[in-house]
């Protein structure tokens, strides 16, 4: 009986995997077929107002990059505190639980929160509001990854550092962090890959602009929001541009994830 149940389980699991891969392949095929049809040099050299995507691609990277620059030190310091200094205190457990909750929070909830505290008081969307939304989504991932990677560092390395007279700070920075740096970098890359493809929080916070802009205090160009807007246009050329933007965004996220996976596998070896 157990052998029959085992075989049935393997069959159903295989069928489920095949169905999932089929739909994934279908989506990727449709995306590539429609996206590549509109891919040209003009997409990268002209702004959205002129039928290109240059300004929204750059805008998306600027917001994601600024959120990452701010989020890396905050997330890493929080993760270091949890593993190296916090011990088993109630505060440590509370921060871990809060981080886990924030990781699973819908991104649109974060966007609504930032909308309420920044967009409504200022009266307009802005790039900084989008940066804050992406920052809130990114930090819990970095915190959890840093915490988990430092947990994997053998206790003997810490004891060896203490034995030669090194302070807690020097042991943490020069031994523990250095040992776990590739795993931490993987978490940072995966966090960046998540926020660079976010749409829902930016709908309420940064909005999107058809013109070139690097001013984060005003409505800021965004690739993901522009794709959403272009998909609802009655003009076929605009819809095609939306497909091209979706293809470029998918390729960007895929490349970042592959780099993260490669770094993670290297760390495991």
- The per-residue DSSP string of 19-76 comes to HHHHHHHHHHHHHHHHHHHT--HHHHHS-GGGT--HHHHHHHHHHHHHHHHHHHHHHH
Is residue 70 very low, low, confident or very high in pLDDT (cuts 50, 70, 90)? very high
| One CATH from 1.10.10.60, 2.20.130.10, 1.10.10.10, 1.10.3720.10 for 30-268 | 1.10.3720.10
Whole-prediction pTM value? 0.85
For residue range 173-225, list pLDDT tens digits in order.
888 888 888 888 888 888 888 888 888 889 889 888 888 888 888 889 998 88
- Residue 37: CA count within 13 A, CB half-sphere: 13
Model confidence at 268, in pLDDT bands (50, 70, 90)?
A: low
Q: How many angstroms separate the Cα of 196 from the Cα of each of 66, 71, 105, 114, 192?
A: 11, 13, 17, 17, 6
Beta-strand runs (E) in 78-232? none
At 126-153, the pLDDT tens digits run 999 999 999 999 999 999 888 888 888 8
Cα gap 75→224, rounded to integer Å? 25
Rounded alpha-carbon distances, angstroms, from residue 261 to 240, 254, 257, 258: 31, 10, 6, 5
Helices (H), strands (E): how many in the chain?
A: 13, 0
- Distance between CA atoms of residues 217 and 29, nearest Å: 39
> What is the residue extent of each domain of the chain?
30-268
């Amino acid at each position: 009986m157990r052998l029959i149940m085992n075989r049935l389980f393997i069959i159903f699991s295989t069928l489920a995997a095949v169905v999932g891969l089929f739909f994934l392949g279908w989506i990727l095929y449709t995306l590539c077929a429609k996206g590549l049809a509109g891919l040209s040099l003009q997409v990268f050299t002209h702004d959205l107002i002129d039928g290109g995507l240059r300004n929204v691609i750059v805008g998306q990277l600027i917001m994601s990059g600024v959120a990452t620059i701010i989020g890396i030190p905050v997330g890493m310091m929080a993760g270091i505190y949890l593993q190296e200094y916090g011990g088993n205190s109630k505060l440590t457990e509370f921060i871990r639980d809060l981080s886990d909750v924030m990781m699973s929070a819908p991104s649109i909830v974060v966007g609504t929160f930032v909308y309420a505290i920044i967009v409504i008081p200022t009266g307009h969307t802005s790039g900084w509001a989008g940066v804050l939304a992406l920052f809130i989504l990114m930090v819990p991932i970095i915190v959890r990854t840093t915490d988990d990677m430092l947990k994997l560092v053998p206790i003997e390395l810490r004891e060896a550092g203490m034995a030669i007279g090194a302070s807690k700070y020097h042991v943490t920075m020069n031994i523990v962090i250095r040992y776990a740096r590739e795993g931490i970098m993987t978490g940072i890359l995966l966090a960046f890959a998540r926020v660079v493809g976010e749409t829902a929080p930016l709908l309420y916070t940064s909005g999107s602009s058809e013109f070139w802009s690097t001013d984060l205090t005003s409505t800021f160009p965004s690739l993901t929001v522009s794709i959403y807007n272009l998909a609802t246009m009655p003009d076929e050329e605009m819809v095609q541009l939306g497909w091209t933007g979706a293809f470029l965004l998918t390729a960007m996220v895929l490349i970042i994830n592959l780099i993260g996976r490669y770094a993670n596998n290297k760390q495991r070896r």
